[in-house]
Amino acid sequence: MGSGLTVVAGAGGFIGGHLVAHLRAEGRVVRAVDVKPLSEWYQVFEGAENVVADLKLREECGRVCAGAERVYQLAADMGGMGFIEHNKALCMLSVLTNTHMLLAALDAGVSRFFYSSSACVYAADKQLSPDVIPLKESDAYPAMAEDGYGWEKLFSERMCRHFREDFGLATRVARYHNVYGPHGTWEGGREKAPAAICRKVIQAKHRKEPTIEIWGDGTQTRSFMYIDDCTRGTLAIADSEILEPINLGSSELVTINQLVDIVEEIAGIRLRRSYNLKAPKGVPGRNSDNTMIQRELGWEPSTRLREGMERTYRWIQDEYIRKYGD
């Protein structure tokens, strides 16, 4: 990786903020871009060039990619299951951001374009049981992606491929599996399961209400990747010669009930569980097959869930107290 300008699109978000932190720590020159006003960014770094821009607009993409050597395209309208199940059109509109960023990166002559895809691209019929067979990269086809969000991600993966094949733009694609950690969304409807469960447990503890609502029956299985593993893997994949989309996720599988167990243990509390069977709950089971990343990079995300959840819980607890008091 040269010493030129690196653009992080979606830098005001959870993963983007951590990526900027990592790149700045390496001494990179970073242009951080997000549609949100700076006051709403999760992390802002004075050493970066911080730009507010709507990347659905072609001219804005041209402006932020000008002079760039690398682009990390993480900008998307997204959230947890509660958001993506009820905002399919909004999720699909991220195709404008991805298309315009690819065109702008091509025009700017960038040397690498990284795109963050998602495990939501995988065929639904391979995720029908909590007793999952881990998803390998080839399981995205025949295509039957998560409606809305997953289809947009799969389409944009193909765009990256064809920009590479037809125009020579060096694109790299990682399929993220459930990223969690500090400095992320923890309330308001876009948060994902780890943060939502932390908030619910913290709330129950502070309000002395000994009940927690769980979406679904709690038997859904998932793997969750800690943010430090995500940023490390993202940079390694961007640097690599891996041309096909590749899984970036933990292979440590848990049920949602087990995730609640972990958070209760961290909090030192036991709660009654109320199961909301009408709430969005996603597929019954999903896990990452890490054979390809182990083979290509000799590495896989490996932060233990208990350890990562402890750090996440402590951060959300501090945020909760700051906002709502003791």
Average pLDDT for 169-177: 98
What pLDDT does 163 receive? 98
Average pLDDT for 76-97: 84
Using the predicted structure, report yes or no on whether residue 79 has a pLDDT greater than 70. Answer: no
Q: What tokens were used for 308?
A: 């990562």
In one-letter notation, the amino acid at residue 187 is E
What pLDDT does 3 receive? 58
Average pLDDT for 18-44: 97
CA–CA distance, 326 with 207 (Å, rounded to integer): 9
CA–CA distance, 116 with 301 (Å, rounded to integer): 16
What pLDDT does 1 receive? 43
Active-site residues, by number, are 149
CA–CA distance, 298 with 232 (Å, rounded to integer): 13
Lateral strand order in the sheet of 246-248? 49-52, 29-34, 5-9, 68-73, 112-118, 171-176, 246-248
Opening angle at CA 108, ends 104 and 111, nearest 5: 105
CA–CA distance, 291 with 195 (Å, rounded to integer): 28
Q: Among 29-43, 52-66, 127-141, 262-276, which stretch is predicted with the lowest mean pLDDT?
A: 127-141
**pLDDT tens for residues 186-245?**
999 888 899 999 999 999 999 999 999 999 999 999 999 999 999 999 999 999 999 999
Q: DSSP secondary structure string, 186-232?
A: -SSS---HHHHHHHHHHHHHHHT--EEEEETTS--EEE-EEHHHHHH
Using the predicted structure, report yes or no on whether residue 116 has a pLDDT greater than 50. Answer: yes
Using the predicted structure, report yes or no on whether residue 107 has a pLDDT greater than 60. Answer: yes
Q: What tokens were used for 120?
A: 């939501």
Confidence at 80, pLDDT banded by 50, 70, 90: low
pTM (2 d.p.): 0.94
